[in-house]
Every structure is written in C-alpha cells, then in structure tokens.
Amino acid sequence: MIPKETVDKIIDAARVEEVVGEFITLKKRGANFLGLCPFHGEKSPSFTVSAVKGIYKCFGCGKAGNSVNFIMDHLQLSYPEALRWLAKKYSIEIIEREITPEEKERNTERDSLMIVMQYAQRYFTDKMLNSDEGRSIGLGYFQERGLRNDIIEKFQLGYSLEARRAFSEDAVKAGYMPKYLVKTGMSILSNTFTEGNEITVKDIFDRYAGRVMFPIQDDGGRVVAFGGRTLSSDKKTAKYINSPETDIYNKSKILYGLWLGKKSIQNKDCCYLVEGYMDVIAMHQAGVENVVASSGTSLTVEQIKSIHRFTNNIIVLYDGDDAGQKASNRAIPLLLEEGMNVKLLMFPNNDDPDSFSRKVTIDEFQNYIVANAQDFLIFKAKKITGETKNDPIKRAGVIKDIVESISLIPDNIIRSIYIKDCANIMEIEESILQLEVNKIRRKITSKNKTSVDPEVYQGPHPDDIPQEFTPEVKQEKEPLNFDAEEKELLRIMLTHGNILITIDAEDEHQEKHDLEITLAEFILFELWRDEISFENPIHQTVLDEYIKELSEQRLPNLQHFSMSQDPIISSFVINHVMNNYELSEKWAHFGVYVSTEISNIKKSSQHLLFSLKEKKLNHYISLKQELLKTCTPDETQGILQEILHLTTLKSRVNKLLGRIVVK
C-alpha cells in the first residue's frame, strides 16, 4: 500500500501536460494544449489539456480526468499501478507498507501477467550475458550483426536457452505460477495435460527455446510480449515466433519501437515505418530514433492511429523484395485513408534498413534517407508514366490505380493538389482525373452511410435522438429528469460549500434567531430532512464522498474530488464543475458588470432545492396515480388522500418558487 504522503507527492509532481505529452503531441492553444484524442479515433484535435487546472478533457468522446486517470485509462492500469508508473517517471521512491492477505487477493490477474513478463525479460538478458551458451550463441549473434553493447542494453535483448524447459522450470522455482506462464504465452501446455486439473511445472515447456529474444513494449514502456528469432538453419523451423494475443497484449495495437521512438517522432514531426525488429534497432544505432515497426503483423488502423497522435508525416521503408512490396501496397492505402502524408524510401540493391546501415557510415545512412524520401503518389505517377508510355491499355489501368489512391485522402485541399500534380505528370486532363475521383468518393460516402461499424461510429445512439425526430415511437409519459438540479447542487457545494450563510432557526424554546452555517451544511440538511437522495447513481456517488469527507472532519475541496482515485468522481467533477465557463473580467472595461455567483448563492441554492423537491413531488404523485389503476376499492380512498396531501405540498413549493400552477 502506498502511503498518503507519497501519493500526494506523486500527484503534485505529475504535471498533466507532461504526462499526456508522453503519449500524444500537444500544441499550445492560448492557456491550454490541444492534441488528437488517444481514446477514440479522430482526425481533427478535440483533446484539451489545462495545465492550470491540472486536467484533460476530450470534447469528442467526453473522456476527462487528471494525470493519474490518464495513465489508468490509457495504459489500462489500476490506481496503485498508475501511481507507481508516475513515481518511476518522476524518480519518486515508494516505500510501501506490507499489504494484508485480503489486499493480496484483490490484486488482479493482469498484474500477475505483467510481473511474469518483467521477470522473463530480465531472465533472457541475464542468460545471454552470464551463461556460456548465451554469450557464445545469443550475444555472439547480435555482435555478428554489428550491434553495439549500448544498443543491446537499450532494447533489452536476450537469449532463451536451448533446453526445452529451462525458462519454465526456473520461473516456477522463482515463485511464478505455471498458469500465468501459460496465460502470458511464455510457456505452452503439453499434450499430456488433462483439462480441469491444476497446471504444474511438469505440464509446461518453453515457447522460445534456442532463440534470441526481442522484448515488445507497450505505450508505457512495459514488456507485454516477445519476438523470438531462431538461429537454426533448418528451413522447417519458423524464423520468427511472436507472442500470442493475451490479456495484456493486443498485437494489432502495439508498434515495436514506439516507446523508445515517440519523443523523436514528436521532435522531428516524422515517423519512419519499417518491417522488422532488426530494422528498428539498426536505425537507432545509426542515430535515427523516430522509427517503428508493426509487431509481426500487417499494419493496422489502430497502429496508424498510434503514430498519428505524434505526427501526420510517415516515410515507408519496407524492403525492396516482393514481400516488402506487398507489405507497402497493403499499408499505404490505410495510411492515406487515415489522413497521413506518405513518402516512400527505397534502398539500392534490394537492401533493407538493417543491411544498408551496415554497408555505409552513420552520416551516409542519415544523408541517404533524407535525400531519397519521395512523396508516394508523385513517385507512383512518375514511375507508371515512364513504364507505360507506349501501352495505352496498361496506362489506363495504372491511372485508375492512382485515382483510387488519391480518392482515399480525406482532406479536400490535399486531394485537389494531388489531382493537379498527378494530372501534369501523367499528361491527362485534370478535369477527367477530378471526375473519376469524385465518382469513387461518392461510392465511399454512400458505403459509409449505409454500413456503420458500431465500434467505430461516434454519432448519437438511437436512444439519444430527440422524440420529435422519431414520431413513430410514442411514449405515454416522459420520465422525470433530476439531473440538472442534482448537478448544479453538487457544483455549488464543491465550489462554494464552505461559504458561511445565515438562516432562520428555532432553539429548544421555539424562539427564532439567526444561525450561521456553511452552505454545504444547509443543502445537506434540506436533503436529509425531506429524505431526498439523488436519482443519478453518479451524482449520489459524489454526494456520498462529500458527506464522508465531512464526517471525517475534513474540509471538502475541489482538488480532493478532481484527484479522486475513483474515475467516476474525478470525471464528473472535471466535466461538470471545473470546465464551466466564466465571464472574463475584461468585460468590465466595456462597462459590462455582472453580479458574482457568490452574492446570490443562498437564493440560488434554495431555488434549486425547491425545484428538486417539486420534481420529486411530481414523481410521487405520478406513482400514486399509477397505483389507482390497479388498487382495490378499499384502497382507493387512502391513495386519493395521499395524492391530495402531495398536491398541497407541491402547491406550497411552487409558491416558494414563484410559480403559478394553471389547471
């Protein structure tokens, strides 16, 4: 358990713009920062970070929180894990007290999987550096490939011994449970295992025996998977084995090298996309760090979005062989469709980044990749124009191919520039090219309208559409909504709850006199007296936390709630309390003066309380009226009396609200 003093120290150190800036590119916009939201796919930035308030909010998907919440959501960590991640980032030492057996039991399975992967990385590195087999085979392989010791250490490279159970047996001896070794994919169940039995060390063997190991890290720098390369010349043996999908590893979202390269990608405003692990490592050794590779899979939209958070510009460096060409042909349409500016870089003699970097000096390598990157569409237009000059049929086919690529670009202006440039290169009328692009764009638009992926669609849910737009759906009575009053009462309590107000009170002798209490005490007393709880469970959660703070003799303050470890509380406070707009003081220069909220705070609170009570009474009356439809004749009179009593109370409340009820 992390002591409260340490938690406070971590929260104070973790500036939200620095933490969020680790994962997306933020640009200054006035007092705030703006970037692409990491929680939903967007091409125009709507994710806002306020350094002054210490919060973030996405105006696209509604996600909001503080630096701890961001790490919890983005890296899928628990509250203690997020604090430990931030403590490591800011070099804050955590001295934890011993946790109880009950707390141990609450630790998630995900934690166990992460711990196993950390152990595996340390184990493979240790075996490579400190065993005879590891030094001669594993380390020897990397040194033969020309890797420096600092690069080997930087990428945490390792080696898995050839003995088929070496890792599994050592891991179990070290205290790691066999079932977690299997769930991480580090070990494989043998055919002799009987389903339903508890997994033992005899039931498992190593997945990666006799391979050099490439740890794969997530966005937070945690090892979540491995790639293992065989050093055997046997053609029947798979060259690479990659970790299977697990609870902590989604291969379609992870990019190899992103954790180590994202700062450079931000600074250079450009990302190199390569094919394999060694390509990424070789480029780092050549001084080029803004580089990533897909982790043993074809490039996915999720991976492109991860790159897009840091830059719009990407240079594809796939190998010059057939496999590399096919990979680039699959990747580039996706990149264009996601609004990326795509360039292509080909190495001479079918070299890849790894092999080419070993043939030239560091300066020559860096100069080559800068000088030879070409805009993909312009390169393609020039290439096919030269190759098909004397073949009209073939020329028509490749022009159509270019048109399809241009059509994928979402930005109208960029699309029109490519149409003009490609028309000039291919010696074709610009209007013809524009016409063909428009045809394809209409098909794309039509397809998007008729086939919406529910996981991608960001529009309103059918249930959110106002009733007037769905006349075929009839509701007998619209349910009462208490949200407005509940939200506003919470906002007032959180921002002005400690203000003293004067109310009329009676003592034990029924003598009236003025009593000075806090605004929060007044609101809570009124709610308690009429036995009113909040209908919205989120609002009730915030109210319960407020009452808990008061009961423990602590003065509730906004920071406590915005930094709450409960994301429900912090998200509510950031969305509905801290993000309210305030009239700028500059208006006073123009003679516009507005009374402050505090000057009318007591009256506003009373009005909200009466409004909430009036809605509650309406709700109770409605429930009683429903009972009349099913009650027995003997029960009718009693229910009518209750309705009359509630209606009388409602009239009094309406009078206090200044409302005239017209029947």
The CATH number of the domain holding residue 84 is 3.90.580.10
Does pLDDT of 586 surpass 60? no
pLDDT at 634 over 60: yes
Please tell me whether residues 285 and 401 are part of one structural domain: yes
User: Three-state DSSP class for 481?
Assistant: coil
Domain match, 114 and 88 both:
no
- Lowest pLDDT segment from 131-145, 164-178, 441-455: 441-455
The backbone torsions φ and ψ at residue 259, rounded to the nearest 5 degrees and listed phi first, read: -60, -40
Indicate whether 554 pLDDT > 80: no
- In Å, how far are 218, 274, 305, 532 from 252, measured between CA atoms? 12, 16, 11, 49
Q: Is 323 helix (H, G, I), strand (E, B) or coil?
A: helix
The sheet with strand 158-160 has its strands ordered as 158-160, 211-217, 223-230, 240-242
Q: Write the pLDDT tens digit of every residue in 18-72.
A: 889 888 888 888 778 888 888 877 777 888 888 877 888 888 887 888 888 888 8
Q: Count the neighbouring beta carbons within 10 Å of the beta carbon of residue 320.
A: 17
Say if residues 303 and 294 touch (Cβ distance below 8 Å).
yes
Helices (H), 388-536: 392-407, 412-426, 430-450, 483-496, 519-529
**Which residues lie below 8 Å from residue 115, measured CB to CB, with a gap of 6+?**
176
What gap in Å lies between CA 498 and CA 492, rounded to an integer?
10
Query: Which band of pLDDT confidence, cut at 50, 70 and 90, is reported for residue 270?
Result: very high
pLDDT band, residue 660 (cuts 50/70/90): very low
Q: If pLDDT is split at 50, 70 and 90, which confidence band does 477 have?
A: very low
Write out the residue range of the structural domain in which residue 143 sits.
109-242
Residue 632's Cβ-side half-sphere holds a number of Cα atoms within 13 Å equal to: 2
- Give me the pLDDT at residue 473, please: 37
Q: Let me know: does 159 contact 192? Beta carbons within 8 Å.
A: no
Given 86, 105, 124, which residue is the final one in a domain?
Answer: 105
- pLDDT at 172 (0 to 100): 93
Residue 482: what are its φ and ψ, rounded to 5°?
Answer: -100, 5
Helix, strand, or coil (residue 291): strand
Confidence band for 223, pLDDT divided at 50, 70 and 90 = very high
Contact 176, 121 (CB under 8 A): no
- DSSP, collapsed to helix, strand or coil, labels residue 131 as coil
Confirm if 20 and 72 have CB atoms less than 8 A apart: no
Write the single-letter amino acid at 183.
K
Q: With cut-offs at 50, 70 and 90, classify the pLDDT of residue 591.
A: low
124 and 55 in one domain?
no
Q: What is the pLDDT of residues 367-385, one digit of tens each?
A: 999 998 888 888 878 877 7
pTM: 0.64
> Quick one: 189 and 286 in the same domain?
no
Q: Would 631 be classed as within a structural domain?
A: yes
Tell which of 47, 75, 105 closes a domain.
Answer: 105
Please indicate, yes or no, whether residues 318 and 422 belong to a single structural domain of this protein. yes
Q: Which among 227, 230, 170, 172 has a CA at the least distance from the CA of 199?
A: 172
Is 154 found in the same domain as 279? no
Residue 477 resides in a domain: no
Please give the full DSSP string across 212-226, using - where no structure is assigned: EEEEEE-TTS-EEEE
Residue linked to tokens 């809570």: 524
Classify residue 304: in a domain, yes or no: yes
| Residue among 124, 80, 379 nearest 229 (CA) | 124
Same domain, 432 and 549: no
